[in-house]
Amino acid sequence: MQKSVRSCGPNATVNEHAELDAAELSKRRANRRGLSAEPSAAPTISHDQRIDEAMETLAVVIPTLNEERSIGTVIDGVPVDDLLKNGLKTVVYVIDGRSTDTTREIAIDKGATLILEERQGKGAAIQTAFKSINADYAIMVDGDDTYPIDLATEITCLLKKYDVVIGSRLKGTIEPGAMTTLNVVGNKLLSLLARLLFNVQISDVCSGLWGYRGQVIRGLKLSAEGFAIEVDMLAECARNGFHMAEIPITYRARRENPAKLSSVRDGLRIGTFLIRKYLRQKRTRNVRFHAKNIER
Ligand SMILES: Nc1nc2c(ncn2[C@@H]2O[C@H](COP(=O)(O)OP(=O)(O)OP(=O)(O)O)[C@@H](O)[C@H]2O)c(=O)[nH]1
Ligand SMILES: [Mg+2]
């Protein structure tokens, strides 16, 4: 992450902020600056401070499990200066599972806020992150440096118009060696299933790059703890009738560290989850959906 932007150290746990309402937060911010939160105190607030308080916020959420070879590059790739120019203060959150390598140390060193989620699974990490953050926008991206996080500014621009923006590898470019034929077929089948069940023109339901408006996150009732987290999110977006868009992206090959996803086992689990979720939602209410796909 570029140094010019305020970053959170390891002690700045987000759990604290998640518990607070806006009034309490502003009182605490004022206290931290040595200012009274009481209006009668008439504190002197600088021009810069006023701009800072007025800015919108972006949380970049990165789940990791033994990603020491790539996590530094992913954090460095978040275009914080560009986002700042677009009026967004960015905080990067790394939600680490039981990494046994130096992922956690690198994340802290790069200025990210580290959240520990020792339950197994990417979904568990994302659920914990979503409960902890309180930002105007959020972007979820994998920590294996296979997704173009440099598109963060473009994604947040689209989030002014759409509730959710998904990076589509299948509408974009898959670099040689980035995805096996089995995974391409599996992704296409799962996306087809999602289209049929939820009436949404999604092309890449398993994408690891999603952007959301803050209020969307608070509307998602997620239960998937593993790799079904993306289809869980899609079903929840359908239930809420969120307005969605896809952008084509380039998908890169992961470095030598091994993937945690097993194509057949996880593919079947994701498909089963999708069907179960559909049946559960169908029992409770009609699913509305009005997703839009956009071209770049
Ligand atoms: N916190 C946490 N993160 C995880 C866990 N399992 C995977 N992840 C992270 O979730 C992201 C996606 O996992 P990958 O193994 O890359 O799965 P994938 O991208 O679907 O599969 P590949 O295409 O093979 O890379 C990566 O950043 C992982 O480090 C876990 O149990 N806990
Ligand atoms: Mg991956």
Write down the pLDDT at residue 54: 74
Is 232:223 a contact under the CB 8 Å cutoff? yes
Q: Can you give the pLDDT at residue 216?
A: 94
Q: How far is the CA of 258 from the centre of ligand 1 (A)?
A: 9
Per-residue model confidence (pLDDT) at position 265: 87
Q: From residue 104, give the alpha-carbon distance in Å to each of 23, 33, 89, 108.
A: 32, 30, 23, 6
28 CA distance to ligand 1 centroid (A)? 36
Q: Is 43 helix (H, G, I), strand (E, B) or coil?
A: coil
277: region left, alpha or beta (phi > 0 left; psi from -120 to 50 alpha): alpha
- List pocket residues of ligand 1, CB cut-off 6 Å: 63-65, 67, 95-97, 117, 120-122, 125, 142-144, 146, 208, 227, 254, 259-261
Nearest 10 degrees: Cα torsion 198, 204, 206, 208: -130
The closest residue, in CA terms, to atom 24 on ligand 1 is 259
* The pLDDT value given to residue 282: 76
Domains of the chain: 14-284 (3.90.550.10)
Could you tell me the two tokens for 149?
């996080």
Confidence (pLDDT) at 137:
98
- Return the pLDDT at 168: 96
In angstroms, the CA 64 to CA 178 distance is 18
Question: What distance in Å separates the CA atoms of residue 63 and residue 223, rounded to the nearest whole number?
Answer: 16
Q: Residue 151 corresponds to which amino acid?
A: L
In this prediction, residue 219 carries a pLDDT of 85
List, for residues 137-162, the tens digit of each pLDDT value: 999 999 999 999 999 999 999 999 99
pLDDT of res. 267: 87
Listed as ranges, residues in the chain with pLDDT below 50 are: 2-41, 295
Ligand nearest to the CA of 169: 1
Centre of ligand 2 from the C-alpha of residue 132, in Å: 23
Task: Assess contact for 230 and 151: CB atoms under 8 A.
Answer: no
Choose among 162, 247, 159: nearest CA to 202: 247
List pLDDT tens digits, range 225-272. 998 999 999 999 988 889 999 999 999 998 766 667 777 888 889 999
